Structure 1
Amino acid sequence: MKGSIYIDENIIGGADFQIIDESMGVIGGVLIPNASYMKYENLIQGHYQQKGVANSEDFNFKIVLNDAILEPEGGISITDSDEFDEVYVEAAGLSLEILNNLK
């Protein structure tokens, strides 16, 4: 299911999300960044270098699917390294109700 990724009110890209681990409520997908993402890219990559990921503690990430803002209990994270060609986004701790809507 396609969704949009935000930092605060700025849309930074989109992703086609798949269920990664249903028991843990995890979805993930490859982030297709837009021009706004470039404002944050160095900061996100810096967090990756420090701790392996940039997460909801570092940025006010939001995922919007079907006009609904997801509120994952485990937060949202983005993995972006200048060594990789892809940027990955995931959310953990979503309810079974949300996951069932993704199927």
Structure 2
Amino acid sequence: MTGYLYIENENIGEINFEIVDESMGAITGQLITNNNYLKFKDRIQQDCEEKGISNITDFNYKVLFSDNCKLKAEGGIGITDIKGFNEIYVEVAGIDSRMIDKIKQND
């Protein structure tokens, strides 16, 4: 299922999510960034270098799906963007079973 990652109200990219752990409500996907991501890239990479991930304590990350449904992530949202690597991953944990079912239906 396609989602869009935001920092505050700024769209920074698109993710095609897949379920990685249904029981934990965990989904992940590669972030396809847009130009807005460049405003935050250095700080996100610094967070990743210091603690392995940039998460909702660093930025107010939110995910909206293509149907404008806002994802409620009780376990948080994190981005892994390591300098020198071209792949950026988004991890989301603690989503409810209803949302997991919705993602399954859209795979």
CA distance in 2, matches of 1:22, 1:3: 18
Aligned-partner Cα distance in 2 for 1:91–1:78: 9
Structure 2 regions of 5+ residues with no counterpart? none
Q: TM-score, normalised by structure 2?
A: 0.94
Corresponding residue for residue 72 of structure 2? 71
Q: How far off its partner does 1:83 sit?
A: 2.4
Q: 2: CA distance between counterparts of 1:56 and 1:71? A: 12
How is 1:1-103 mapped onto 2 (pairs within 5 angstroms)? 1-65=1-65, 66-103=67-104
Identical columns (%) = 44
Give the paired residue count: 103
Q: Deviations over 1:18-47 (max 9, x none)?
A: 001101000110000000000000000000
Provide the alpha-carbon RMSD of the alignment: 0.6
Query: Which is strand-richer, 1 or 2?
Result: 1
Partners in 1 of 2:48 and 2:5 — Cα distance? 18
Q: Distance in 2 between matches of 1:46 and 1:69?
A: 27
Runs of at least 4 residues of structure 1 off by over 4 A?
none
